[in-house]
Amino acid sequence: MKVIAVLNQKGGSGKTTIATHLARALQLDGADVLLVDSDPQGSARDWAAVREDQPLTVVGIDRPTIDRDLKNVARKDFVVIDGAPQAADLAVSAIKAADFILIPVQPSPYDIWATADLVELVKQRIELTDGRLQAAFVVSRAIKGTRIGGEITEALIGYGLPVLDSRIILEAEPDSDAADEIRALANEIKQKLL
């Protein structure tokens, strides 16, 4: 079982959108997937509740026991954790549970600066696990062809974690560029976990 935690302590970074779509992309690729909503607001659970034909299992664990609770979950190929904003204890628990931390960042200076505390927590855990934990940034809500869209990678590299090549541009159509981008993101993460 591989655990991917989508974390950023800043609200509005695209965590839930990325976590739900990443979990679904992994499932559509044939994997057995569980989506864990660790946000007390419950947006991923709400997302699941509005679909009568919801093919993805979504559970809520909004207590700082994620790392312990996942040990009692039936084995899945992947668990994707939708992280809570501004909840250090939940973030630490998700980091402990994870094999891979995905940090979505929007292309804005504030969003880049807001990741500093989370990056420090992740780096500490990487050191404690002798590098077994992997982490990377993904640019969320990118706007093609803008200067800041190109500069964000340079700024994020300064934090010492890789920046994935995949970019997330929000659209709703299953055959859209956005759907292809989520599938590319899922494949890029799977390659890193192999």
* pLDDT 10s digits, 48-63: 888 888 889 999 999 9
- In this predicted structure, what is the pLDDT of residue 170? 47
Query: What's the Rg (C-alpha) of the chain?
Result: 15
Structural domains in the chain, CATH included, are: 2-193 (3.40.50.300)
In this prediction the pTM is 0.88
First to last CA, the chain: 12
For residue range 162-175, list pLDDT tens digits in order.
999 887 754 455 66
Please give the average per-residue pLDDT across 157-184, as a whole number.
78
**CA dist., res. 161 & res. 135, Å (int):** 7
Neighbour-count burial for 110-141, b at 16+ CB within 10 Å, e otherwise? ebbebbeebbebbeebbeeeeeebbbbbbbbb
Q: Kind and range of the H or E element at 124?
A: helix 116-128
- In this predicted structure, what is the pLDDT of residue 149? 65
pLDDT band at 110; cut points 50, 70, 90: confident
Relative orientation angle of helices 177-193 and 15-28, to the nearest 10 degrees: 80
Of residues 19 and 166, the one with the higher pLDDT is: 19
- In this predicted structure, what is the pLDDT of residue 109? 82
For residue range 61-107, list pLDDT tens digits in order.
999 999 999 988 888 999 999 998 877 899 999 999 999 999 999 88
